[in-house]
Structure 1
Amino acid sequence: MEKMKVLLVCAGGMSTSILMQKMSKYWQENGLALDIKAVGLSEYQDVFQHYDIVMVGPQVSYRMKEIIENTALPTAAIPSFDYAMANCPNIMKLAQKLYAEK
């Protein structure tokens, strides 16, 4: 399977970088390749061209419409509970659903 390229967008990139590490580990444990990067709202437009999907932290989900318009990539907000608990199985399901739309 080809490597899934996920761009995580949050307010500043800090809390998302913790989630990013947990997601990378979870994908690896499940035998899947993942290329993931966490960026803040100010950065995503500089890098989105290198990614397949965009996942948005709940704290910036109000900007999702703008992100979709700017990137034209499959995009979804990570549910607050899954984000807070770093619920990688649920986040992975959401990512796979988005990836299937690309």
Structure 2
Amino acid sequence: MAKMDIVLCCAGGFSTTMLMDRIKQTIHESKALNDDDFTLKAIAADFLDQEVDHMDALIMGPQVAHKLESIKPLIEPRHIPYVIVDQDTYGKMDGATVLKQLLIAKRKADMAREAAGE
């Protein structure tokens, strides 16, 4: 697996840091995944434009889901897959579920790029 740079964004970057730590724990405890294959960074959504050129995937907290329309012009031209974490999963800080959703989104994006000949 190629190294994947994942950005998590929320309103302030604080609660997302807790979710990021859970995702790191999931990766670390996985027999199939390697810590060195992932970098994760939690930021406030307002700083996303500064990170977009350095990320392979985006995780959005439910509190910034309403910003998706303003975020799409940043990520879609770069074919950056994203997931919006639902309130229940976020409340549980369920890093395993979020990571699984993101890996599925990334695979679908990769398949679409391959089909388009990119």
> Structure 2 length normalisation: TM-score?
0.79
Are 1:29 and 2:32 matched, yes or no? no
Aligned counterpart in structure 2 of residue 77 of structure 1, from 76, 84, 92:
84
Query: In percent, how many aligned pairs have the same letter?
Result: 25
- Residue 59 of structure 1 is matched in structure 2 by 63
Runs of 4+ in structure 1 displaced over 3 angstroms?
none
Decide which moves more: 33-42 or 8-17: 33-42
- Residue 4 of structure 1 is matched in structure 2 by 4
Structure 2: gaps (5+ residues): 111-118
Tell me the C-alpha RMSD between the 2 structures: 1.3
Instruction: Please give the per-residue CA displacement for 1:61-98, whole angstroms capped at 9, x wherever unaligned.
Output: 00012112122222221111111111122111111012
Structure 1: gaps (5+ residues): none
Larger-Rg structure: 2
Are 1:20 and 2:20 matched, yes or no? yes
Higher helix share: 2
> Structure 1 length normalisation: TM-score?
0.90
Q: Secondary structure at the match of 2:43?
A: strand
- Distance in 1, matches of 2:68 and 2:82, equals 8
Instruction: Please give the per-residue CA displacement for 1:9-67, whole angstroms capped at 9, x wherever unaligned.
Output: 10010000111111111111113332111110211110121111111100010001211
